[in-house]
Amino acid sequence: MTSLSYLNDKDNFDATTDPAATESSQVERIVRAIAGGIAEGKLIADQRLPSIRAMAAEHRVSRDTVQRGYDKLVAGGHLYARRGAGFYVAAVPMPPVRDTTPRPTVDLEPFQLIHTSLPPDRCPGSGVLLHDDGSVDELHRIVKGVVASGQRLGGYGDPAGYLPLRQQLQNKLRIEGIDAPLPSILTVPGCVAGLTLVVRSFIRPRSLVLVEDPASFIHTTVLLAQGAEIMRVPREADGPDLDVLRLLCERYRPAMFLMTSVLHNPTGSSLSLPKARKLIEIAAEFDMMVVDDASYADLSHPAGARPVVPLAVLDQLDHVIHVGGSSHILAPDVGTGYVVAHERRMELLRLFRPAQGLGNMLIQERVLYRLLSNGLYRRRCERIRAMLAQRATAIRHALAEAGCTVAPAGGGLFLWADLGQDKSGVDVARRMLKHGFLTAPGSHFSPPKTDNSHMRFNVTTTTPAALAALAACL
């Protein structure tokens, strides 16, 4: 067993010199001493540390104190754990525990794709699904019916959400293959609110979280707002690069992987079944929480040449938290989101749930309930999928004629196009804006200050005029 005798040197950790020291201060002494030993070269890469029992006995502290100190060092990147084998010095030390590096700031520019004064036909980069008049009229009738039903207002409702709606969501999830007990389902004001609730519940400042590259700017914004550290896993045509994912898990032991299994934003790709199974195995091996943003899942064709299923179908909520919603099928201003998680995670989710809106969307929840209970939601999804497929085919052809390479996609709202190796997505976006069109360059979805030749197109707002302007700008 390796002895860390230097910890008893002057100015280093020695619990016996301070009998009145609190457990918290003893934990911090362990952290500072071991981190300092790594920085000074007294502890080398892959060196095994004493077991928790041996460390506690040698320095006359509790095992819990040592465990907490080791856990902090793992979270800080100084150590890594091997299941059943103990704790080891990490190969490349992370910055000191008391790091004063300025935190990254949230880039607000991509939010213009959601909040813009331009009309929809001028926003080929929009993130909002533009419905036809018939779908809008249908939704208006449902909303009017809910209001006219005499729904009594004035209370906060069920803290978990409208019970009949949650029962309908339970049925919907069961049809999709997710067996979720009713207490495992919470409603929230929308998918973004659901992601925010999950991150707020389980992530603390400086927690390491993995996201995909490219990824929705909503994912990074929610995490940065909570003070998380972000690392990226490249997204391939059939899902995240699992080799990179495993390396990051082995090296850093991230707390969470925030991703999209079905109709990824911005690429439109979906996770393949073999890769989904391996991802679940990695999550179980490293006890990593996987948050699956299923915002666009209802836009996916339920049947096809390649099976596409949400991760929760395979995992049954053991390590996966499923976040879904109706904002794209209905409209952002009347959509309702929901979070589905294992019962052991629900305590924290219920604790933070009131911060997402005490009123429980009394009208919106009942709108979705009516659509689900009378079968209108399913038929609405079918019409939207057919419309998206038809429009995507025409726009894909037009983009190819303009010299763009469009990534394969299994339906959904977006097409992910490569403008050409010699093209800058940011430069093209600026030229398009001068023509009066708001676009979504790839830099909105990759690390800050990273330019590339990609651009995301919304198939419901990309008009012939926008495509003609793009051809001119290219």
What is residue 264's predicted lDDT score, i.e. its pLDDT? 95
Sequence-separated (6 or more) residues with CB below 8 Å from residue 412: 263, 268, 296, 299, 300, 388
d(CA 343, CA 258): 20
- Answer yes or no: do 361 and 434 share one domain: no
- Distance CA(75)–CA(94), nearest Å, equals 10
Q: Are 265 and 333 in the same domain?
A: yes
CATH code for the domain in which residue 365 is found: 3.40.640.10
Contact partners, residue 132, CB within 8 Å, separation at least 6: 387
What pairs with residue 185 in β-bridges? 340
The pTM (predicted TM-score) of the whole model is 0.76
The domain tally of the chain equals 3
- 122 and 13 in a single domain? The answer is no
- CA distance linking residue 66 with residue 68, whole number of Å: 5
One domain for residues 185 and 273: yes
Q: 418 is in which domain, residue-wise?
A: 109-129+378-473
Residue 102 lies inside a defined structural domain of this protein: no
Q: d(Cα 423, Cα 437) in Å, to the nearest integer?
A: 18
Q: Please indicate, yes or no, whether residues 350 and 401 belong to a single structural domain of this protein.
A: no
pLDDT computed for residue 464 by the predictor? 96
**Do 235 and 329 share a domain, yes or no?**
yes
Tokens describing residue 449: 């200050």
Residue 94 lies inside a defined structural domain of this protein: no
Whether 240 is covered by a domain: the verdict is: yes
Output the DSSP codes for 58-102: HHT--HHHHHHHHHHHHHTTSEEEETTTEEEE-SSPPSPSS--PP
Report the sign of the C-alpha dihedral through residues 93, 257, 129, 302, in that order. Answer: positive
Give residue 31's identity as a one-letter amino acid code: V
Q: In angstroms, rounded to a whole number, what is the distance separating the alpha carbons of residues 352 and 6?
A: 44
Cross-strand partners of 210: 231, 257
User: d(Cα 385, Cα 403) in Å, to the nearest integer?
Assistant: 27
Residue-level pLDDT, tens digit, the chain, 474 residues: 444 555 555 445 544 444 444 666 788 888 888 988 887 888 888 899 999 998 888 888 899 899 988 988 888 888 988 877 899 998 754 444 444 445 555 555 666 766 777 899 999 999 999 999 999 999 999 999 988 886 666 666 678 889 999 999 999 999 999 999 999 999 998 899 999 999 999 999 999 999 999 999 999 999 999 999 999 999 999 999 999 999 999 999 999 999 999 999 999 999 999 999 999 999 999 999 999 999 999 998 765 545 577 899 999 899 999 999 999 999 988 889 999 999 999 989 988 888 766 556 788 999 999 999 999 999 999 999 999 999 999 999 999 999 999 998 878 999 999 998 888 999 999 999 999 999 999 988 988 666 689 999 999 999 999 999 999 998
Q: What is the CATH number of the domain that holds 57?
A: 1.10.10.10
Instruction: Provide the pLDDT for residue 93.
Output: 47
Task: Let me know if residue 101 belongs to a domain.
Answer: no
Note whether 358 and 240 are same-domain residues.
yes
Which CATH number fits the domain that encloses residue 439? Answer: 3.90.1150.10
**206: in domain:** yes
**Rounded to the nearest 5 degrees, what angle is found at the Cα of 282, between the Cα atoms of 279 and 287?**
125
Q: Are 263 and 328 in contact (CB under 8 A)?
A: no
Residues 383 and 330: their CA atoms lie apart, in Å, by: 12
What was the pLDDT predicted at 95? 46
